[in-house]
Chain A
Amino acid sequence: MTTMTAAQSPASGAQHPGQGWRVARRVGFWFIIVLILFYTLFPFYWAFNTSLKNENEVFATAYLFSQNPSLRNYELVFQNERFVRGLFNSTLVAGGSTILALGVGSFAAYALGRLKFRGRLLMLYAVLAMTMFPQISILSGLFSIVRDLGLFGSLSSLVVTYPLITLPFTVWTLTTFFKGLPSELEQAALVDGATGFQTFYLILLPLTAPALVTTGLLSFISAWNEYLFALTFTTINPSAQTVPVAIALFSGQVQRQDPIAEVMAASVIVTIPLILLVLYFQRRIVEGLTAGAVKG
Chain B
Amino acid sequence: MDYSSTARARTSISTQVYLIAGLMLLLGVGALWLFVTGITDALMHRAAGADFGAVLLRYLHVNGIILPLIELGLGLYLIRLAARFLRRDLRAAMWVRQLLLWGVVASTVFVVQALGSALATQMAATEAYMIPVIGVILALTLTYAYLWIGSNIEKFEGQETLAESSARFAWNLLVPTLLVLVFVALRPLEKTFIASLTDQRFAAGADAEVNFVGFDNYAKLLGVRWDLVQCTTDDTGACAVDESGATVFPRARDVLDETYRDLRYREISTWLTLGGTKLIFSARDTNFIGSIGNTLMFTVVSVTIELILGIFIAMVINSKFPGRGLMRAAMLVPWAIPTVVSAKLWTVILRDNSSGILNAGINLIQRTLGLPEESIAWLARPETQIIAMIAIDVWKTTPFMALILLAGLQTIPADIYEAADVDGANRITQFLRLTIPLLRPTIAVALVFRTLDAVRVFDVFQVVLAQKQYSMATYNYYTLTNSQQLGYASAVGVVIFVIILLFTVAYVRILGVSAE
Contacts and interface: CB of A to CB of B under 8 A. Distances in A.
- Is A bound to B? yes
Given A123-B174, A136-B473, A227 B431 contact: no
Interface string B290-328: 000000000000000000000001011111110001011
A76 interface: no
Nearest to A170: B177
Interface residues of A, number: 109
Interface in B381-437: 395, 399-400, 403-404, 407-409, 411-412, 414-415, 417-418, 420-421, 427, 430-431, 434-435
B430 to A, nearest CB: 5
A246 B318 CA distance: 39
Contact of A40 (B163, B331, B500): B331
Given A44-B333, A105-B177, A290-B403, A117 B171 contact: yes
Given A40-B330, A125-B515, A275-B336, A136 B181 contact: no
B185 A235 contact: no
Contact of A134 (B174, B340, B345, B452): B452
B47 interface: no
A125 B515 CA distance: 7
A137 B494 contact: yes
A228 B472 CA distance: 13
Contacts of B333: 40-41, 44, 271, 274-275, 278
Interface in A54-83: 58-64
Nearest to B358: A62
Interface stretch (A16-24, A206-214, A262-270): A262-270
Interface stretch (B80-88, B141-149, B237-245, B454-462): B454-462
Given A107-B174, A232-B481, A275-B336, A126 B329 contact: no
Nearest to A243: B338
Contacts of A182: none
A268 to B, nearest CB: 9
A108 interface: yes
A244 B338 contact: yes
Contacts of A202: none
Chain B contact surface mostly: helix
B166 interface: yes
Given A140-B493, A145-B187, A267-B345, A40 B334 contact: yes
Given A138-B493, A232-B477, A62 B356 contact: yes
Nearest to B435: A7
Q: Which of B188, B418, B449 has the most CB of A within 10 A?
A: B188
Given A140-B493, A293-B408, A264 B515 contact: no
A224 to B, nearest CB: 7
Nearest to A142: B188
Interface of A is mostly: helix
Contact of A282 (B328, B399, B446, B516): B328
B342 A43 contact: yes
Contacts, number: 322
B269 to A, nearest CB: 26
Interface in B54-93: none
A60 B414 CA distance: 53
Contacts of B463: 227, 248
Contacts of B472: 136
A65 to B, nearest CB: 11
B490 interface: yes
A62 B417 contact: no
Contacts of B156: none
A124 interface: yes
A161 interface: yes
B456 A286 contact: no
Interface in A153-210: 160-161, 163-164, 167, 171, 196-197, 200
A107 B177 CA distance: 8
A145 B66 CA distance: 14
A15 to B, nearest CB: 9
A92 interface: no
B31 interface: no
Interface string B448-483: 110010011011001100000000110011001100
B344 A62 contact: no
Given A43-B349, A197-B169, A228-B477, A140 B181 contact: no
Q: A127, A140, A142: which has the most chain B beta carbons within 10 Å?
A: A140
Contact of B340 (A118, A123, A136, A244): A244
B114 interface: no
B403 A46 contact: no
A141 B191 contact: yes
B134 interface: no
- What is the interface residue range for chain B against chain A? 35 or more
A278 B325 CA distance: 11
Given A7-B427, A171-B177, A289-B403, A134 B329 contact: no
A110 B490 contact: no
Contacts of A87: none
A140 B329 contact: no
Contacts of A117: 166-167, 170-171
B355 interface: yes
Interface string B502-513: 001000000001
A171 B318 CA distance: 30
B163 A116 contact: yes
A283 B516 CA distance: 25
A152 B496 CA distance: 24
A118 B399 CA distance: 41
B22 to A, nearest CB: 28
Contacts of A58: 355
B412 A228 contact: no
A62 B357 contact: yes
A108 B176 contact: yes
Contacts of B430: 6-7
Nearest to B354: A61
Contacts of A196: 165-166, 169
B272 interface: no
Nearest to A117: B167
A167 B182 CA distance: 13
13 contacts: A10-B321, A33-B316, A36-B317, A39-B395, A43-B342, A125-B515, A136-B472, A138-B191, A141-B189, A247-B338, A270-B341, A278-B332, A278-B336
Please provide the 10 A-B residue pairs with the shortest distance between their CB atoms, ordered closest to farther. Answer: A141-B188, A141-B191, A141-B192, A290-B407, A137-B497, A117-B167, A6-B417, A225-B338, A108-B177, A111-B170
Interface of B: 163, 165-167, 169-171, 173-174, 176-177, 180-181, 183-185, 187-193, 195, 202, 313, 315-321, 325, 327-334, 336-342, 344-346, 348-349, 351, 354-357, 359-360, 395, 399-400, 403-404, 407-409, 411-412, 414-415, 417-418, 420-421, 427, 430-431, 434-435, 441-442, 445-446, 448-449, 452, 455-456, 458-459, 462-463, 472-473, 476-477, 480-481, 486, 489-490, 493-494, 496-497, 500, 504, 513, 515-516
